[in-house]
């Protein structure tokens, strides 16, 4: 047996089935939350705000909101996926199975990325119901969605292995991802900030994601599109390196 595609698929399917069992929490809840953002920020407040970078405010915030959901869902999903078997003790089965580390990662991260990707698309469709939304570069938009979903699912996987309890598991999405996304230009363009805070913002990786993703819709961005792509790739490589290190050392998986 050179590869174990069945084993990889077993993990993938198990994780997808878990989301299907809890679809109210996995699908309905993030869609409702995002719709609330559209209603409150887009329709209620947006009607009093001028256009931003030439885009109506209601449409301007859509890429950022999709990113917000994509990031939080990818991290939450992937981290819970690997944390729960560690918590229940069922991880013994994956560790003792003839699957390689790469296959384990593809199974868990692939499933989490698939779920958040589907969610991102549902939210995109929902957004169309609220605002007029042109997509200038649909393929680039999809590429960004996929790249972000994979990158942040990898990040979530790392969180799920690092976390020792449920509190630590929640800390990263709540205290890191959400603030970074809110401060990452989801609801505003960076040029409305004082110069100092513009510079500080450039240290926030989410800025590059939101900016690049928004460019694929409207061809407007805070940072050049290639810089956005480059930074996203860089973050993905960083996560891959960390995952590689985790399995090499058995960090919190094997003693």
Partner 1 sequence: MAPILTVKNLDKTYESGFQALKDINLNIEKGEIFALLGPNGAGKTTLISIICGIVNSTGGSVTVDGYDIVRDYRHTRSRIGLVPQELTRDAFETVWATVNFSRTLFGKPRDDAYLEKVLRDLSLWDKRNNQLRTLSGGMKRRLLIAKALSHEPSVLFLDEPTAGVDVELRQGMWETVEYLRETGVTVILTTHYIEEAELMADRIGVINQGEIILVENKRQLMKKLGQKQLVLQLREPLSSVPAGLAAYSLSLGDNGESLIYTYQTQSAQTGIDSLLQDLGEAGIRFTDLHTTQSSLEDIFLDLVNG
What is the contact surface with partner 1 in residues (CB under 8 A)?
A: 1-2, 4, 6-7, 9-11, 13-14, 17-18, 21, 87-90, 92-100, 250, 254-255
Choose between 13 and 128: whose C-beta lies nearer to partner 1: 13
Q: Cβ 244 to partner 1, closest distance in Å?
A: 17
Tokens representing residue 191 in the block: 């040029």
Q: Cβ 6 to partner 1, closest distance in Å?
A: 5
Choose between 29 and 90: whose C-beta lies nearer to partner 1: 90
Q: Cβ 165 to partner 1, closest distance in Å?
A: 14
Choose between 48 and 88: whose C-beta lies nearer to partner 1: 88
Choose between 16 and 236: whose C-beta lies nearer to partner 1: 16
Q: Cβ 33 to partner 1, closest distance in Å?
A: 24
Q: Give dist(CA 66, CA 145) in Å, integer.
A: 9
Q: Cβ 18 to partner 1, closest distance in Å?
A: 8
Choose between 92 and 197: whose C-beta lies nearer to partner 1: 92
Following DSSP, what letter does each residue of the chain receive, concatenated? ----HHHHHHHHHHHHHHHHHTHIIIIIHHHHHHHHHIIIIIIIIGGGS--BTTB-HHHHHHHHHHHHHHHHHHHHHHHHHHHHHHHHSTHHHHHTSS--HHHHHHHHHHHHHHHHHHHHHHHHHHHHHHS----S-HHHHHHHHHHHHHHHHHHHHHHHHH-SSHHHHHHHIIIIIHHHHHTTTSSS-GGGS-HHHHHHHTT-HHHHHHHHHHHHHHS--SS-HHHHHHHHHHHHHHHHHHHHHHHHHTTTT--
Q: Cβ 2 to partner 1, closest distance in Å?
A: 8
Choose between 90 and 199: whose C-beta lies nearer to partner 1: 90
């Amino acid at each position: 047996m050179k590869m174990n595609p069945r084993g990889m698929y077993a993990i993938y399917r198990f994780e997808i089935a878990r989301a299907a069992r809890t679809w109210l929490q996995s699908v309905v809840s993030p869609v409702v939350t995002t719709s609330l953002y559209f209603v409150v920020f887009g329709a209620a407040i947006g009607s009093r705000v001028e256009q931003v970078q030439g885009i109506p405010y209601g449409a301007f915030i859509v890429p950022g909101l999709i990113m917000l959901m994509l990031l939080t869902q990818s991290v939450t999903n992937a981290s819970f996926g690997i944390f729960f078997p560690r918590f229940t003790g069922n991880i013994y089965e994956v560790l003792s199975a003839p699957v390689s580390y790469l296959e384990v990662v593809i199974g868990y991260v692939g499933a989490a990325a698939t779920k958040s990707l589907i969610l991102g698309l549902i939210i995109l469709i929902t957004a169309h119901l609220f605002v007029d939304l042109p997509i200038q570069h649909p393929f680039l938009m999809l590429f960004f969605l996929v790249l972000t979903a994979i990158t942040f699912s990898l990040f979530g996987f790392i969180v799920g292995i690092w976390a020792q309890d449920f509190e630590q598991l929640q800390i990263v999405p709540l205290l890191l991802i959400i603030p970074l996304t809110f401060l990452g230009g989801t609801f505003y363009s960076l040029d409305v900030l004082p110069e100092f805070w513009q510079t500080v913002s450039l240290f926030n990786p989410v800025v590059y994601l939101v900016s690049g993703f928004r460019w694929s819709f409207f061809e407007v961005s805070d940072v050049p599109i290639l810089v956005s792509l480059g930074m996203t790739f860089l973050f993905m490589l960083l996560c891959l390196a960390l995952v590689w290190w985790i399995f090499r050392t058995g960090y919190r998986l094997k003693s």
